[in-house]
Chain A
Amino acid sequence: DGGITQSPKYLFRKEGQNVTLSCEQNLNHDAMYWYRQDPGQGLRLIYYSQIVNDFQKGDIAEGYSVSREKKESFPLTVTSAQKNPTAFYLCASSTEGGIPYEQYFGPGTRLTVT
């Protein structure tokens, strides 16, 4: 079955530690995205990548880093510089050729930093 997988579903880290969230898709989509969701807020774009080996900052990129070495994978690293890392993180992908702008989402990773 095609889809997007994010692992793990729940992640706990101590303050000051970097942590990497995994996102893999087998939909053959070119574009991938990372969002975070906080209570009572919509999804905010962290980083996105339209093609392998290229990515752009979204609206709240500070304290995060990404890589796009493979089409299927777009890992997100939450660094110790991120002031409020506790959130629900969502990965998405989309194709340039299908319904424009429609993004398919993974199940999310809830990160708790204490």
Chain B
Amino acid sequence: DQQVKQNSPSLSVQEGRISILNCDYTNSMFDYFLWYKKYPAEGPTFLISISSIKDKNEDGRFTVFLNKSAKHLSLHIVPSQPGDSAVYFCAASGGWGGTSYGKLTFGQGTILTVHP
């Protein structure tokens, strides 16, 4: 049972354009969402997060949007740069006292390629 899904295995965009990576979840107990970036043969690095009490969080070129009613979040990268080419994972965690508290459930990842 895949509780966090990234349905697009890959995404290709031109440098300078917007990249939009999508993520859907099924567990309504999730209340904190994160995006990680991963290069081959390395560990993931934290990118940006959002609490369920917000619908948008912005950090420089990266913005995460959360639509709780649709159980959907997205990561926008504007403008995209070749150095952004990596695998992007979304992850979710539950609130205090829940079974998923302190644990992250990851999606399958989306390979982003930004062409110069």
Contact = CB atoms under 8 A, between A and B. Distances in A.
B103 A45 contact: yes
Contact of B108 (A40, A99, A105, A107): A40
Interface of B: 4, 6, 9, 32, 34, 36, 41-46, 49, 89, 91, 93, 102-109
A7 B81 CA distance: 32
B43 A42 contact: no
A104 B102 contact: no
B102 A48 contact: yes
A85 interface: no
A44 B102 CA distance: 14
Contacts, number: 63
B41 A108 contact: yes
B102 A101 contact: yes
A4 B46 CA distance: 14
Across the A-B interface, give the 9 residue pairs with the lowest CB-CB distance, nearest first. Answer: A105-B43, A42-B106, A101-B93, A43-B106, A42-B108, A105-B44, A101-B32, A106-B43, A107-B43
Interface size on A, as a range, is 20 to 34
Contacts of B109: 41-42
12 contacts: A9-B41, A42-B4, A43-B91, A44-B106, A48-B103, A58-B103, A90-B43, A92-B43, A101-B49, A103-B104, A104-B46, A106-B43
B43 A41 contact: no
Given A43-B89, A102-B46, A110-B41, 14 more contacts: A42-B6, A42-B107, A43-B44, A45-B104, A45-B105, A58-B103, A88-B41, A90-B43, A92-B43, A96-B102, A100-B93, A101-B34, A103-B104, A106-B43
